[in-house]
Chain A
Amino acid sequence: MSAEANVRTLTIDGVDVSARSDQTILEAAREHKIAIPTLCQIEGLSSVGSCRLCLVEVKGARRLQPACVTRVEEGMEVATHSAKIDRYRTMILEMFFAERNHVCSVCVANGRCELQSLALTLGMTHVEIPYQYPQLPVDASHPRFTVDHNRCVLCTRCVRVCSEVEGANTWGVMGRGAQSLVITDLKEPWGASETCTSCGKCVQVCPTGALFEKNRAMSKARKHPEFLPYLRIMREGEQP
């Protein structure tokens, strides 16, 4: 198949764009500087489409589609913003805030949190959904890192980076729905985990204050997820 045959042309928000057939709507949109909000998606890891913030309208499709896991198709007409999409996104964001205990003012990630910035960019000023106030544990057994389930949005970035990049498979998910928890090994205390290499990649990709490094002042708590695509490129280069 020639390179041209792999090109798909579609419109996003009325703009004609072209993309490779293996690209997602999100990738095509970003290449054309069209912003779609995301939370669970991160450059350098596989996409799972779990947070649903990247929902877009595809003409002809009955339901909204997650842009991060929907492949482009020839002649597709995509809308990234509409009254309906905005309503859904705000509702999803409100559910994130209501589901656990996100207290921005006293959070280690205050000012550097992706959930907090999404509330700002999507214009969410308050939560209509009743807060759940679940009682959730904090595991500080690891010598360097802490997991605070109160701030976890279950994006599974930690699970994916641990599996796909570090290859340790320490992180996993247990339970169902809002009761799900990210766990280390078979729910051992993180400090007792035999598989954890203490590499800290999970901390770097965590979008909120759920995973953080101990003994770090808030001003120094900036995370560096940008190592991921770089690592990927370098590793691909090594392959024979």
Chain B
Amino acid sequence: MSDVKTLATVWLDGCSGCHMSLLDMDERLIELSSRFRLVYSPLVDRKTFPEMVDVTLVEGAVASEDDLKKIRKIREHSRILVSLGDCALTGNVSAMRNMVGPLPVLERVYLENVDLQAQVPTVGVPALLDRVRPVHEVVPVDVFVPGCPPSADTIYQVLTELLAGRVPTLGGVAHFG
């Protein structure tokens, strides 16, 4: 079937709420599943990003070295990159540490008020960037979908427009927050 497009979703620094909203499309997921093939996502098993994906939805801001590496690779291997939700678009809650930087936040969480083995984890976790950044500050983005999270209706509209070969603009349709 040639009209089946491949779809990927990625989860950077966000709360997973955008993915919840994606699942919130309910029975429309069944309709979409015959037209999209989900090839990479926190919701499926595949561990490596495919060679080329038609549409990639990105949830979350770019907050760590790992996010940065991932998003650059994903951009290279995606035809259409969609910034999904306020964290990807604005940094949102993830970027609230930018007012003070990562160190005071790590110290607050892992050192202050900790009774046992207070230490900032460094093994097996990616280093935090000095500044959390919206996705479009790091790589070019094709579609911007505001919302915290964007509603299921909005996500459905975006996906069906992309299936029809149109690049949707959400200005005047979806708001921040």
Contact = CB atoms under 8 A, between A and B. Distances in A.
B96 interface: yes
A69 interface: no
Contacts of A104: 86, 148, 175-177
B100 A121 contact: no
Contacts of B174: 120, 125
A137 B96 CA distance: 14
B148 A105 contact: yes
A111 interface: yes
B144 A120 contact: no
A119 interface: yes
B95 A119 contact: no
Interface string A120-144: 1111111110110111000000000
Given A103-B90, A121-B172, A125-B89, 8 more contacts: A105-B93, A105-B177, A116-B177, A120-B174, A120-B175, A124-B171, A126-B89, A126-B144
5 contacts: A116-B176, A119-B176, A122-B171, A125-B145, A126-B83
CB-CB nearest 8 A-B residue pairs = A123-B171, A104-B177, A105-B148, A125-B144, A133-B98, A104-B176, A120-B175, A110-B177
Interface in B2-52: none
Contacts of A79: none
Interface of A: 97, 101, 103-107, 110-111, 113, 116-117, 119-128, 130-131, 133-135
B136 interface: yes
B120 interface: no
A124 B89 CA distance: 11
A101 B169 contact: no
Interface of B: 83, 86, 89-93, 95-96, 98-100, 131, 134, 136-137, 141, 144-146, 148, 169-172, 174-177
A130 B99 contact: no
Contacts of B96: 101, 103, 106
Contacts of B98: 131, 133
A135 B177 contact: no
A152 B141 CA distance: 29
B89 to A, nearest CB: 5
A132 to B, nearest CB: 9
Contacts of B83: 126
Nearest to B171: A123
Contacts of A127: 90, 134
A128 B89 CA distance: 10
